[in-house]
Chains A and B, each alone.
Chain A
Amino acid sequence: MPPRLDELTMARRAASELEPGQVVALGSGLPVSVAAVLPPNAAVQLLSDGGALGFGASSDGHSSTGPALSSPDGRPVALQRGGAVVGLVDWAAMLRGGHVDVAVVQPARVSASGDLLGWTTAATPGLFAPGRTVDLSAGGRKVIAMLPHTGSDGSPNIVADSSPVADGRGCVNIIITDIAVIRVESGALVLSEVAPGWSYDDVAAVTGAPLVLDSNLKEIAPNLEALNAERAGKLFPNGPSAIADLHDGATVMIDGFGGPGGMAHYLLVSLRDQGTRGLTIISNTIGIARIVNFGTPAGKLAIDHSILVENGQVAKAIATYPVSPSASRPSTFELAYRRGEVELELVPQGTLAERLRAGGAGIYAFYTPTGAGTLIAEGKESRVIDGKEYILEQALTADFCLIRGHKADTLGNVVYKGTSRNFNSVMAPSARITIVEVDEVVEQGELDPELIVTPGIYVDRLVIRPEGFSPYE
């Protein structure tokens, strides 16, 4: 038989599946080599459960500068400029929440229906190590399986039947082995590429499942040039251009905490000017700063959600503080509610934060003790767990999220200042399109990777708050 491909060629073939701008989570084993073969300026961000988002291979085997970080298999890696240090809670949330475009895993076996099995010892099948494999299989929007085509005893690693035990079900999209590239298409395995010198028959003879022959069978010849593309820029020239596609009837998350310190005021004004209607606003307050007026200069009014309510743009609020603390000074939203013009879903503050986190982290619902036995529990499932009563709360997501950050780099990594971290950082991962209003945008690598609070993978657009812009009007 002709020679089989080496690890680095397999890695190059896997890397050529990637597209500029993607977030790619790597498993241990063969997938780690993908980091080694990527062009230095490849426009993809690699994610390691070792806590690195946006890393490359360490050229000298040591992470000589920056934080001590490791690849999924424990080898030192270096952050690229614009990389961020993340914890394992973040890693899991990125995968489960649908923020990872591609996961690359090395399973022990793959079935014809795209199921995969991680590592299991032959001698003691009850002991096995799913490690990160289950999370990667479930979390990657596209899953690439890299594995030797056959085991050390020559038996096929690609098999017809699914095992009753699987670490990922129907998740594999493409299989890259040391002799072939096989696409998993609606339950069929399609042989689309072979290693030099190998034929369909050669590959089929060592495959444990039927192979459909692609009419355009090619030789494996990885090409990574496309990965050197420029990244799509995130910085928009102004507020109106950044929210131009925010449409009537959209659900929009927006809030900092209470007063004027933490809100994307410039984007709020842009949204008022745009006049978009029928909005559902998810927020902590829905326009309290304007009547509480803490710190507001005399003769001025704070800019907050009230400006959208006054303008007739809001249909519904999901909020914690919908009303004024003073009965004699009702908020704009309160007045609109009394007139029956707006709907309200009342959510306790901690539950709101947790529902927002769930939305961004791929948690569908959760049991919380907050609100059990109160009005908040009405219409919700109640359940006693370990002797304590909980109610079931659902995740919140949105079409858009308007965030107030302090500083961002061009990749969209964001740091906050004081109170504005509050709801902004938990909302950022939960919307389809997250737009951040910052004071300053710096180049990649200028933010300390240990201090990044919202990694750029959660941020779609950046807008600089105009110099001298006042949160009061």
Chain B
Amino acid sequence: MPQGKLYDTPQAALADVQDGSTILVAGFAGHGVAERLLVALLEGGRKDLTLVYRDGPYARAGSGPLPAIENLVSNGQVSKLISPIPFSPGSGGAIEERWQAGRLDIEIVPQGILVERLRAGGAGIGGVFLPTAVGTRFEKDKEKRSFPQGEAVLELPLKADYSLIKVAAADTLGNAIFDGSSRNWAPVMAMAARITVAEAGRIVEPGELDPEAIISPGIFVNRLVAAG
């Protein structure tokens, strides 16, 4: 049984993940990857998942040879990927194979648009007009309008059931701080998911973190597991 937000194991923290869940996976170049949670997701065997991530080639979990995302795809658990970089150039592996076989849907979204869609999802915004995609292949099928600043394209919010983030330290209320690059996607993913599970390098008592230094307030972090 969890004590407050603190769960004994990553498996327990992800026990209610259902088939068909949308899951945000934080990480940048191997920083801030919630490895124990990704292993638990793999072991849990839930299927038909939609994964939103940036760090496909780097996010490793456990000792297997494959990155975690590719492991989950190989394991037949994933039906859709949303990513700016779905796989490392030239090494698509299982992701490319399944996509070609029509067994995997891939939505490719430029990084800055993806992060703003997540922020909109987390902040209750119904949509944002961004100039980024104008004139590119990413304006296809989207509403485009003129503003005093120029043309912009309507980008819709992205929300998820879960987000899996790695934090340097959290207090038991879920207030969290990060280390360097691991901040990257994590705070915005924490906002955009119904349930955010944080794998914490350190777990401390409330009051031990400098309140001016907290990046993700505990209201965005629902569950904690120790990074181990």
The finding on whether chains A and B are genuine partners in a shared complex, rather than unrelated, reads yes
A74-B58, A166-B137, A363-B116 given; A87·B110 CB < 8 A: no
| Cα-based distance from A29 to B164 in the complex (angstroms) | 28
- Mask for B107-135, Cβ within 8 A of A = 1, else 0? 01111110110011001111111111111
Binds A, one of B10-18, B63-71, B86-94: B86-94
CA–CA, A128 to B106, complex, Å?
Answer: 10
On whether the beta carbons of A354 and B123 are closer than 8 Å, the reply is yes
Beyond A130-B84, A363-B129, whether A51 also contacts B184 by CB under 8 A is: yes
Of B110, B125, B136, B179, which contacts A366 at CB under 8 A?
A: B125
A87's contact among B29, B86, B187, by CB below 8 Å, is which?
Answer: B187
Q: A85 within 8 Å of B by Cβ?
A: yes
> What is the CA–CA distance of A96 and B149 in the complex, to the nearest angstrom?
12
Docked pose: A323 CA to B174 CA in angstroms: 38
Closest to A384 in B: B126
Taken residue by residue from 272 to 290, chain A's Cβ proximity to chain B (1 for < 8 Å, 0 otherwise) reads as: 0000000000000000000
- Chain B residues whose C-beta falls within 8 Å of the C-beta of A170 in the assembled complex: 135
Nearest opposing residue in chain A for B153, CB measure:
A364
Minimum CB–CB distance for B123 against chain A, Å:
7
Instruction: Known A124-B99, A129-B108, A169-B134; judge A134-B113 contact (CB<8 A).
Output: yes
Q: Which of A66, A121, A417 is the one whose CB lies under 8 Å from B212? A: A417
* Interface status of A68 (Cβ within 8 A of chain B): yes
**A51, A119, A132, A362 — most chain B CB neighbours (10 Å):** A51
Find out whether the CB atom of B152 lies under 8 angstroms from the CB atom of A367. Answer: no
A383 interface hit (Cβ, 8 Å): yes
Residue-wise interface mask of A (344-361) relative to B, using a CB-CB cutoff of 8 A (1 in contact, 0 not): 000000000010001001
CB atoms of A368 and B126 under 8 A apart: yes
Partner of A96, one of B85, B131, B179, B186: B131
**CB neighbors of B among A349-395 (8 A):** 354, 358, 361-369, 383, 385-386, 388, 390, 394-395
Is B136 a contact of A166 with CB atoms below 8 Å? yes
A390 close to B126 (CB less than 8 A): yes
Task: Tell me, rounded to whole Å, the shortest Cβ–Cβ distance linking A321 to chain B.
Answer: 22
Q: State the interface size on chain B (CB cutoff 8 A).
A: 63
Interface string of B149-160 (1 = CB under 8 A from A): 110100010000
Bitwise interface map of A from 425 to 442 toward B, beta carbon under 8 Å scored 1, else 0: 000000000000000000
For A73, the chain B residues whose CB sits under 8 A away are: 29
Nearest-neighbour CB distance to chain A for B209, whole angstroms, equals 12
- CB within 8 Å of B: which of A46-75? 49-52, 63, 66-70, 73-74
Q: Classify chain A's interface size.
A: 35 or more
With the chains together, A415 CA to B112 CA distance in Å?
25
Given A50-B31, A121-B89, A129-B86, the answer on whether A363 and B126 have CB atoms closer than 8 Å is no
Across-interface contacts of B156 in A (CB, < 8 A):
385
* Interface status of B213 (Cβ within 8 A of chain A): yes
Known contacts A129-B85, A132-B110: does B129 contact A450 (CB below 8 Å)? no
Are A69 and B84 in contact (CB-based, < 8 A)? no
In the complex the two chains form, is A132's CB within 8 Å of B84's CB? yes
**Contact B126 A74, beta carbon cutoff 8 Å:** no
Residues of A within 8 A of B147 (CB): 364-365, 394
- Check if B212 sits within 8 Å of A415, measured CB to CB: yes
Pairwise interchain contact B128-A366, C-beta atoms closer than 8 A: yes
Determine if B130 and A132 form an interchain contact, defined as CB atoms under 8 angstroms apart. Answer: no
Q: Does B53 contact A (CB under 8 A)?
A: no
Q: Which residues of A contact B113 (CB under 8 A)?
A: 92, 134-135
Question: Which residues of A lie under 8 Å from residue B162 when comparing CB positions?
Answer: none
**8 Å CB contact of A354 from B125, B134, B149, B150:** B125
A189-B209 Cα distance, complex, nearest whole Å: 56
Instruction: Give A137-151 as 1s and 0s: 1 = Cβ < 8 Å from B's Cβ atoms.
Output: 111000000000000
Tell me the complex Cα distance, A23–B70, Å: 36
Contact B28 A130 (CB under 8 A): no
In Å, the complex CA distance between A73 and B28 comes to 10
Partner of A131, one of B111, B127, B150: B111
B144 to chain A, nearest CB (A): 11
CA–CA, A150 to B43, complex, Å? 46
CA A137 to CA B112, docked complex, whole Å: 11
Query: Which B residues touch A386, using CB under 8 A?
Result: 126
Contacting residues, chain A, for B127 (C-beta < 8 A): 366-367, 385, 390
Q: Chain A residue with minimal CB distance to B212?
A: A451
> Is B183 close to A, CB under 8 A?
yes
Tell me, yes or no, whether B161 is within 8 Å of chain A by CB: no
Does chain B have a CB within 8 A of A266?
Answer: no
Interface residues of A in 76-122 (CB under 8 A from B): 85-89, 91-92, 95-96, 119, 121
Residues of A at the B interface (CB closer than 8 Å) are 49-52, 63, 66-70, 73-74, 85-89, 91-92, 95-96, 119, 121, 124, 126-135, 137-139, 165-170, 354, 358, 361-369, 383, 385-386, 388, 390, 394-395, 415-418, 450-451
A-B contact pairs, 7 of them (CB 8 A): A50-B28, A89-B115, A124-B99, A168-B136, A367-B126, A368-B126, A390-B127
- Which 8 pairs of residues, A with B, have the shortest CB-CB distance? A169-B135, A67-B180, A367-B126, A74-B29, A135-B112, A92-B112, A134-B110, A390-B126
